[in-house]
Structure 1
Amino acid sequence: METPLSRRTVLGLALGVPVSMALAACGTAGPGTGGATYWYLNGQPQEGVRTGAVDRFNKANPDSQITPTTFQNDAYKTKIKTAIGAGQAPTVIWGWGGGTLRTYVKAGQVEDLTSWFDQNAAVKDRLFPTAFDAATVDGRIYAMPCEAVQPIVLYYNKKVFAAVGAQPPQSWGDIMALVPKFNAKGIAPFALGGQSRWTNMMWLEFLFDRLGGPEVFQAILAGEKNAWSNPVAIAALTRVQDLVKADGFIKGFSSITADSNADQALLYTGRAAMMLHGAWSYGIQQANGGDFVPSGGLGFMNFPPIEGGKGDPSDTVGNPAQYLSISSKATAEQKTVAKKFFATGVLDDEEVKQWIGTGGVPVLKGTQKLLAADKNAEFLGFTYDIASKAKNFAQSWDQALSPTAAEPLLDNIAKLFQLSISPQQFADNLNAVIGQ
């Protein structure tokens, strides 16, 4: 589930920002000004890879130019939704597919790419087939999978574990047993950027899956009445509050933002022992953590099983890919430029090498030899295995659900972690918006 939001979460809620103000803040012209436009997330190293792809395309196509604009995660969520609603979307819309894409499709705001993919079968055939699920609405394709697969990973600081004489957790019981051990040494068991809310959500995604399997959330996604009240859901909500009450997370986690990468700094500086975060975090820690990653200080693993749980421990959650759509309001010329970029610019050879260089596994077939030859081969192989062997690769909840349901979800997750609501109150609140 990138600067954090290569992960994650286009909720795209305008949050009451007037359209004129939001568009002025964007500083980007609307779709009728000539030349294609492209909005995406900033933050290194991912921003550099994206910008490099645009620069190479523009250099190779002087008559088909793309103008990029970058945003921080939370700002992007607001501005892209506002721009789309006003008919002023960029030509190329970066996102995570799923529920938000579905709302754009229902509103007629994005181009149907099914016929284009039929005519350009070679473009589609080189990508992971599973990546198209979140790009598809009612059997039609509305987005191109791009960039890298991003499962959520349990990271740990090997040096801190060695200093405390601890081993990586192999079960939920192990996680709870490690909490007092690290706290006794003045080390936070887990780093968490809780102000960003979606980082908290990762915990629930795994707890739901490990306790009850993918069926529990599938019932929620399908809009089944009172699905949040499933006993497995209540048990998962209770367990995460048990972890909060045990001081499992860094003190003050609710004021730490993921966009600042402060949560990741806690891990590589040894102030926290573990962190649940996306595969994109590896590249950030490599770029910002000094010799932490090169010296072998970073450990990584899939989330462990829960005693008595029905979930398959090979399952994962996160981002099967990132996604590029084309605004239906763009001019014919702009759409032509965007499709040319999709066919020749997205995941070109240099971009593939650069994603691998950031510790990412491109959403592209046949990269095993490149992965094995890279200095990050161990992590890349780990990520490839998780993504390719998972019996269920669930899309992050706030992407899978519609924006209408996702915002109450994140709001109530924050309250759950702050212990201001009970598991049953959480379930009641979310049952009230299920299927919306």
Structure 2
Amino acid sequence: MTNNPISRRNFLGLAAGAAGAAALAACGSSGPSNSGGGSTGGGGGAASYWSLSGPPGEPYRQAAIDRFNKANPDSKITPTFFQNDAYKQKIKTALGANQGPTMIWGWGGGGLKEYVNSNQVEDLTDWLAQNAAVKDKILSSSFGAGTVNNKVYALPVETVQPIVLFYNKEAFSKIGAEPPKSWGEIMSLVPKFNAQKIAPFSLAGQSRWTNMMWLEFLLDRTAGSEVFDRVFAGEKDAWSDPAVLDMLQKVQDLVKANGFIKGFSSIAADSNADQALLYTGKAAMMVHGSWSYGIQKEQGGNFVKDGKLGWMNFPPVEGGKGDPTNTVGNPGQYLSISSKATAEAKETAKKFFSTTLVDDEEKAGWVKSGGVPVLKGAESLFTGDDAQFLKDMAGIANGAKTFAQSWDQALSPTAAETLLDNIAKLFQLQVSPQQWVDAMNGVIGK
């Protein structure tokens, strides 16, 4: 196993071992060469489950299945774990051939929408209504990415990962300023940091999705969640909302004001160079996922231990309509039930959903992994040096009126690639806001 950099698809790595762990795809086998048993799951209510291999997630997924199988010896679940990229291809092929597992692990959003459109997954809406106690144990903000056409097709599981604004407290002390409370304050801080030869913001622009987080927050703070909701719904010309042009102009204003580290478009997130710019004091702030905490703790020496790292939800935009409690990122991971599975296997999956996946051991396991669980009431488990950070991340996730999924996960693969390509061009000032809107309107619903 190689010690690859942590990516945004991973869970927080707060413990010494987890912080430097490889991506979910980086460790473990690539999975078996066969389909893993298909959707029938065998007789007697047996069920199959496919998910990702490697630390930190696989041990806790396996532990949940072991607990369930011990309590239900007549209706066991058989897991199969795949590396990330292999899983994405195998699950798509298997479902298309009606050979998929009973339970399908995923990220929700655009991928789930494709499953729904192909009638490959069960509608869980009525089941959740009949099992309200199960739904009530899960953060309400996590259900959005598991919902298509106002119906729930995937149960939120595992962890939540909001995007936040991190800042270097020492850098702020050097200019005698406080963290920004509004977009106007962000813009006023830019020349002050530049005058001290400190980049206002670190950004790994070569990776594109890092730039995307800025657009997600600015559009939400300017117009609320409704604009992107219309994009996700496939509404014609949904990107033409005036708030989008306003958001795009704000981004380019920040670029033109030298708000980002010089040469940001050639910095890649995979190397964690953007993280290093923050903890070495070369940049004052960084908009990034909550998993960034683990990276900085592992790689930044005593930066986190000495209390030099600060964090906050993205500030509001003056006059904006968005709720300042809203957040974006990964509101959870998701499990769906194959519509092709036997009735008995479906019942086993639902029992797994309503018992093991919402029990106290499940909650404690994901906290131990260094993550904030999608299950409510985990705060009492947040102890030690990381307690305040975990409490704050849980507070953001739990208090969010809307927890929006990352755009590139919410959209179809085709639209997501066009999105990322045009975001890179926007930050490099290669397209105007209107050209960006025209390009994105062209892939709505594709």
The 5 A counterparts of 1:414-425 are: 414-425=424-435
Matched residue, 1:301: 312
Bigger CA drift: 184-193 or 55-64? 55-64
Matched residue, 1:312: 323
Deviation of 1:235 (Å): 1.4
Matched residue, 1:179: 190
Q: 2:60 aligns with which of 30, 52, 58?
A: 52
Q: 2:51 aligns with which of 23, 36, 39?
A: 39
- SS of the aligned residue for 1:4 comes to coil
Q: Please say if residues 53 and 345 of structure 1, whose CA atoms lie closer than 8 Å, have aligned partners that are also in contact.
A: no
- Counterpart CA distance in 2 for 1:81 and 1:272 is 41
Q: Are 1:261 and 2:272 an aligned pair?
A: yes
Q: 1:101 aligns with which of 85, 95, 112?
A: 112
Deviation of 1:234 (Å): 0.8
Distance 1:118 1:310, change over 3 A: closer
- Counterpart CA distance in 1 for 2:94 and 2:280 is 39
Matched residue, 2:423: 413
Distance 1:52 1:25, change over 3 A: closer
- SS of the aligned residue for 1:376 comes to helix
Kindly provide the CA deviation profile for residues 130-159 of structure 1, in whole angstroms up to 9, marking residues without a partner as x: 422322334543211112232221011112
Q: 1:30 aligns with which of 26, 30, 35?
A: 35
Q: Please say if residues 53 and 346 of structure 1, whose CA atoms lie closer than 8 Å, have aligned partners that are also in contact.
A: no
Q: Please say if residues 190 and 249 of structure 1, whose CA atoms lie closer than 8 Å, have aligned partners that are also in contact.
A: yes
Matched residue, 2:410: 400
Deviation of 1:340 (Å): 5.7
In structure 1, give the amino acid aligned to 2:9. Answer: L
With normalisation by structure 2, the TM-score equals 0.79
Bigger CA drift: 234-243 or 174-183? 174-183
Matched residue, 2:44: none
- Counterpart CA distance in 2 for 1:105 and 1:237 is 32
- Counterpart CA distance in 1 for 2:126 and 2:350 is 12
Q: 2:210 aligns with which of 184, 194, 199?
A: 199
Matched residue, 2:17: none
Distance 1:302 1:31, change over 3 A: same
- Counterpart CA distance in 2 for 1:209 and 1:382 is 20
Matched residue, 2:398: 388
Matched residue, 1:14: none
- SS of the aligned residue for 2:357 comes to coil
Kindly provide the CA deviation profile for residues 281-315 of structure 1, in whole angstroms up to 9, marking residues without a partner as x: 22333344332222212101111122333333222
Q: Please say if residues 32 and 330 of structure 1, whose CA atoms lie closer than 8 Å, have aligned partners that are also in contact.
A: no
Distance 1:211 1:140, change over 3 A: closer
Kindly provide the CA deviation profile for residues 8-51 of structure 1, in whole angstroms up to 9, marking residues without a partner as x: xxxxxxxxxxxxxxxx9776531437783533375xxxx31442
- Counterpart CA distance in 1 for 2:94 and 2:421 is 23
Number of residue-to-residue matches in the alignment: 412
Kindly provide the CA deviation profile for residues 370-393 of structure 1, in whole angstroms up to 9, marking residues without a partner as x: 34x454332233223322333333
Q: Please say if residues 41 and 76 of structure 1, whose CA atoms lie closer than 8 Å, have aligned partners that are also in contact.
A: no
> What percentage of residue pairs aligned between the two structures are identical?
60
- Counterpart CA distance in 2 for 1:70 and 1:366 is 31
Distance 1:339 1:390, change over 3 A: closer
Distance 1:32 1:41, change over 3 A: closer
- Counterpart CA distance in 1 for 2:270 and 2:96 is 25
- Counterpart CA distance in 2 for 1:196 and 1:429 is 20
- Counterpart CA distance in 1 for 2:286 and 2:31 is 33
- Counterpart CA distance in 2 for 1:195 and 1:80 is 29
Q: Are 1:429 and 2:439 an aligned pair?
A: yes
- Counterpart CA distance in 1 for 2:375 and 2:63 is 21
Kindly provide the CA deviation profile for residues 165-216 of structure 1, in whole angstroms up to 9, marking residues without a partner as x: 3321222222223333333444332222323322211101111122222233
- SS of the aligned residue for 2:302 comes to coil
- Counterpart CA distance in 2 for 1:197 and 1:384 is 27
Q: Please say if residues 122 and 338 of structure 2, whose CA atoms lie closer than 8 Å, have aligned partners that are also in contact.
A: yes
Kindly provide the CA deviation profile for residues 250-296 of structure 1, in whole angstroms up to 9, marking residues without a partner as x: 33433433344333233223332211112232233334433222221
Q: 2:179 aligns with which of 155, 158, 168?
A: 168
Bigger CA drift: 212-221 or 81-90? 81-90
Kindly provide the CA deviation profile for residues 327-356 of structure 1, in whole angstroms up to 9, marking residues without a partner as x: 456678876775565445435534423433
Matched residue, 1:20: none
In structure 1, list runs of 5 or more residues that go unmatched: 8-23
Deviation of 1:221 (Å): 3.1
- SS of the aligned residue for 2:9 comes to helix
With normalisation by structure 1, the TM-score equals 0.81
- SS of the aligned residue for 2:269 comes to coil
RMSD: 3.3
Matched residue, 1:237: 248
The 5 A counterparts of 1:15-164 are: 28-32=33-37, 36-40=48-52, 47-55=55-63, 57-58=65-66, 61=69, 64-71=77-84, 81=92, 84-85=95-96, 92-114=103-125, 117=128, 122-164=133-175
Q: 1:349 aligns with which of 360, 371, 375?
A: 360
- Counterpart CA distance in 2 for 1:53 and 1:31 is 17
Distance 1:36 1:350, change over 3 A: same
In structure 2, give the amino acid aligned to 1:39. Answer: S
Q: 1:378 aligns with which of 378, 388, 406?
A: 388
Q: Please say if residues 112 and 141 of structure 1, whose CA atoms lie closer than 8 Å, have aligned partners that are also in contact.
A: yes
- Counterpart CA distance in 1 for 2:78 and 2:267 is 39
